[in-house]
Structure 1
Amino acid sequence: MIVTMHRPSRRAALPALSGSLAALLALSACGSDAPSAGAGADGRPSVVASFYPLQFATQQIAGDAVDVSVLTKPGAEPHDLELGAQEIGAMTQAGLVVYSDGFQPAVDDAMGQVDPSHVLDVASAASLTLESTEDGHEHGDGEQHSADDGHDHSGNDPHFWLDPQRYAAVAKAIGARLAELEPSQAATFGKNTDAFVARLVALDDAYKAGLKSCTNRVLVTSHSAFGYLAQRYGLEQHGITGITPEAEPSAAALKEISDLVRAEGVKTVYQETLVEGRFAETVASSTGATLATLDPIEGINDASAGKDYFEVMRSNLQALRTGQGCS
C-alpha cells in the first residue's frame, strides 16, 4: 500500500461577494447581445475546469464544440489557487464546472456558490483509494491511513491523472457529462473520448513495459504526488514532503529520508518543475544521489518537458527508466 505524508491545506479565504460578484452577474445578464447562462461569448456551452489535467481531458473530448477555460493559470501551483470575484462569477455562469473535491481548497469553498446540477466532481470516477499519512512513507502494514481536513476526499491522494487507468475513467465521466450538456454533439464526444482513452491505454502499456525490470523500485520524490503511479507500476513512493508541495520537512524528516536513500541504494532523487527544489537538492547532495526531474503535471509551462500531458508523461517515463535503473 502506498501512503503519503499529509499537510493540512491552507484554505484560501473566499472573497467577499456581496458587492463585486453581484455587479459582475448583473453585467453578464444585461445587454441584448449577452450570451445565455451556461454559454460562452460565442454561444457555445461553457465549461470551467479547475486545473490542467481536467482542462486537457475536457478539451480533447469536447473539441471545438465547447468553450473550455481553466481556473489555474499555466505556471501556477494549483494547491495554492486563490479565486477572485471574476473567477467565481465564471463558475456560477458556466454550463459545467469540472473539479476534484479535496485538491484545491479555494475551489472546494467556491462550489457552494455553484448550482449543483452544473457540477462534475471527478473524485469518485478517479477512485481515490490512497489515503494520506503524516510520515510520507509506505507503512507496509496493509492498512490505509487517513487525515481528514473536512472534505469527503481530503484525506486522499488527489493525483489520479498520473495513473493512466484512473485518468481514463475520469475522461469517460467527462465525456458522458458533456453529452448531457450538449446532446447534439454526443456522438462526437463519444468518438473523442474513445480516442483519448486509447492514447491513455497505449501510455499505460508503455509504462508497464518500461518499468517492468528495474534495479531499484524505491521512488524518492520532492512531494508525495506519485502514489497512484507507484502503485500501478510496482514502485514504492517516499515523499520528502507531503501532498501539499510547499510543506517544509523537519530536520529529523530530512535525516530519515536521507537514511532511507542510503539504506535502499537509491541512486536518484526527483525534483519538480513548479516547486522550489531545495529539499530534494539537500537529500541528493547529502547522499550522493543524482538529482532528476519528475513532473506531477499539475500545470504546463515553459519548464515542462513537453507541450501537453502525453509528452510530459513520456518524459517522466524516460526519467524513471534512467533513475530506477530499468532495462
Structure 2
Amino acid sequence: MNVRRLIPTAALAGAVALGATALTACSGAGATGGKDGKLGVTASFYPMQFLAEQIGKDHVKVDVLTKPGVEPHDLEITPRQTAQLGEADVVLYLKSLQPAVDKAVAQSGVKNVVDAATLTKLEAHAASGHGEEGHAHQDGDEHAAETEGHSHGEAGTDPHVWLDPAKYAEIAKGVGAALEKADPNHAADYKRNTDELVGKLTALDTEFKDGLKSTASRTFITTHSAFGYLSERYGLDQEGISGVDPESEPSPARMKELQEIAKKENVSTVFFETLASDKTAKVLATDTGLKTDVLDPLEGITDKSQGADYFEVMRSNLKNLQKALGSK
C-alpha cells in the first residue's frame, strides 16, 4: 500500500503565500480589465478553469486555452493566442503539464501568473505500483515516462494533482488568495467562495476514503497513468499499460506482467479514459479475460464525460473504482 505523504501546515501556508505574491495586483480599472468590468482570467485547461469559475463566480470572466475534447498534453497554441494571453488580468496554469502553455506564458510577457504547481507539493509516481520493494516511486523512472507519454515536471514529477481532492483543495486556497490580491474590492467574496469549495473537496475526500476503505483488491490497471496521487491518498496501486500511443498494443513482456498481476491481485477491470482511444484497454482485457470501464483523468469535460463537472466525474470515478475493486 502506498504511504500517504502529508504536507506540514507551515509549508502549505508558504505555498499559498507564494501563490498570492506570484500574482502582481493591478490597480484601478486594470484590476478588472476583463469583459463587462470583470476580472479576466485565462485558464490553461479544465481543472484550472473549474477553480477560477468556482472561486470567482460572477466577478470573473474565464477563458480556457484547451477547448473541450482536446487532449491537454497535445495542445498547440497560435501566436494570436499567445498575444491574447498577455491581455489577461490573471493567467492560471500548471507548469510542466502542457509544454505549449509553458512556452506561451513565457513569451506573452504576462505578469499576473499563478502556477498551480507552486501551491502544493508535486511528487514522482511510477507507472507501476509494484517495484522491487513493493512500490516504485523513483525520479526519472523510464517506464513511467514512457507510459505517461508527455512531459512531467522537473525530476520526473507527476502533474496530475487535481485527482487528489486534498491536494486540489490546497491549490484552491492558493488560487483564492491570488484572486483576492488581484481584485481586492471583491476579496471577501473570493474568500467565502474558496472556503465553500474547500469544504466540498474535503467532503469528497471523505467519500473516497470511506468508499475505498474495504475492497477485495487494491490494484487497478489503466491506460493512462494519471492516478498516482489518487492511489497514494487512498492506498491503491496503479498499474499503467506500457506504450505512449493509445492506438498501440502493449508489449508482449508488459502483457505477460499485467496478466500475472491481474491474477495475483484479483484485478477485474482495465480502465481507459474518455479523451483517448479504448483500443489498448480492449486488447489487454480480451487477452486477460477482464472487463473494461472508464476512469476519467478529468483533463476536460465533453458530452462523453460521466458527469457535467469535476465533482460529478470524480464521483463517477469513485463508483467505477468501487465496482472494479470489489468494494465491501
The TM-score with structure 2 as length reference comes to 0.83
1:167 is aligned to 2:168: yes
User: Superposition pairs for residues 1-327 of structure 1, below 5 Å?
Assistant: 39-115=33-109, 117-132=111-126, 136-139=128-131, 141=133, 144-147=137-140, 152-153=153-154, 155-241=156-242, 246=246, 248=248, 249-327=250-328
How many Å separate the matches in 1 of 2:155 and 2:291? 33
Q: Provide the secondary structure at the position in 2 that maps to 1:127.
A: coil
Structure with greater helix percent: 2
Deviation at 1:131, TM superposition (A): 3.9
The percent identity for this pair of structures is 45
How many Å separate the matches in 1 of 2:292 and 2:34? 44
Deviation at 1:250, TM superposition (A): 2.8
Unaligned runs of 5+ in 1: 4-34
User: Is 2:87–2:110's contact at 8 Å kept on the other side of the alignment?
Assistant: no
The amino acid that maps onto 1:73 is K
Unaligned runs of 5+ in 2: 4-28
Listed one character per residue, the Cα deviations across residues 171-220 of structure 1 (whole Å, up to 9, x for unaligned) are: 00100000111000100000000000000011001000000000000111
User: Is 1:267–1:324's contact at 8 Å kept on the other side of the alignment?
Assistant: yes
Aligned length: 293
Distance change >3 Å, CA 154–CA 105, structure 1 → 2: farther
Deviation at 1:151, TM superposition (A): 7.3
How many Å separate the matches in 2 of 1:267 and 1:66? 44
Listed one character per residue, the Cα deviations across residues 96-117 of structure 1 (whole Å, up to 9, x for unaligned) are: 1111111011111112123363
How many Å separate the matches in 2 of 1:325 and 1:213? 8
Q: Provide the secondary structure at the position in 1 that maps to 2:33.
A: coil
How many Å separate the matches in 2 of 1:270 and 1:143? 20
The amino acid that maps onto 2:73 is H
How many Å separate the matches in 1 of 2:262 and 2:98? 31
The TM-score with structure 1 as length reference comes to 0.83
How many Å separate the matches in 1 of 2:275 and 2:176? 29
Q: Provide the secondary structure at the position in 2 that maps to 1:291.
A: strand
User: Is 1:223–1:241's contact at 8 Å kept on the other side of the alignment?
Assistant: no
The amino acid that maps onto 1:304 is S
The amino acid that maps onto 1:127 is K
